[in-house]
């Protein structure tokens, strides 16, 4: 099921990845250059909601990865030796398959994880810093 979900959502997740990075960067830039106002407060709340959404989304992807990695250990720690031979063979097949963890992909570049979320935030910060630098240069001319 996870592999089918991955195939059907991988390109959507890539577009979402790029859109979130750009949105956070743009709002971050507005926060950096804005003066105190109600709009500044709205932008801070919006960026907080975006980061929370990202965290929840990518944390769940990370959980799929972690839980699927623990399947072989869970089988090994169970009383598998008390099962009949047919069940033992089935458990062995499951253990062999679980050696390759299940992952949701962001395009062909990343896997959904909290590490990928940090990549989005780092990219957003970089974009914000570049826009801030360009904005500062325009003010001095």
Helix (H, G, I), strand (E, B), or coil: what is residue 105? strand
Asked whether residue 67 carries a pLDDT value surpassing 80, the answer given is yes
Looking at the chain, the whole-number percentage of residues with pLDDT higher than 70 is: 99
Structure confidence by residue, pLDDT tens digits, 80-133 = 888 999 999 999 998 888 888 888 888 888 888 899 889 889 989 999 999 888
Q: How many CB atoms are located within 10 Å of the residue 33 CB? A: 14
Q: What is the pLDDT of residue 141?
A: 65
CB 47 within 8 A of CB 125: no
Convert 13-59 into a string of H (helix), E (strand) and C (coil).
Answer: HHHHHHHHHHHHHHHHHHHHHCCCCHHHHHHHHHHHHHHHHHHHHHH
Averaged over 31-51, what is the pLDDT?
89
CA distance 86 to 52: 46
DSSP state of 81: G
Enumerate the β-bridge partners of residue 78: none
Q: What is the pLDDT of residue 89?
A: 92
Q: What is the pLDDT of residue 39?
A: 87
């Amino acid at each position: 099921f996870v592999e089918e979900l991955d195939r059907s959502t991988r390109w959507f997740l890539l577009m979402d990845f790029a859109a979130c990075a750009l949105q956070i960067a743009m709002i971050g830039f507005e926060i950096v250059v804005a003066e105190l106002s109600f709009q500044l407060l709205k932008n801070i709340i919006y960026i907080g909601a975006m980061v929370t959404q990202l965290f929840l989304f990518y944390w769940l992807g990370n959980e799929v990865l972690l839980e699927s990695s623990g399947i072989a250990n869970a089988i090994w720690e169970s009383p598998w030796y008390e099962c009949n031979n047919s069940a033992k063979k089935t458990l062995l097949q499951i253990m062999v398959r679980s050696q390759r963890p299940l992952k949701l992909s962001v395009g062909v570049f990343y896997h959904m994880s909290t590490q990928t979320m940090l990549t989005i935030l780092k990219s957003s910060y970089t974009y914000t810093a570049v826009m801030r630098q360009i904005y500062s240069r325009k003010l001095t001319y």
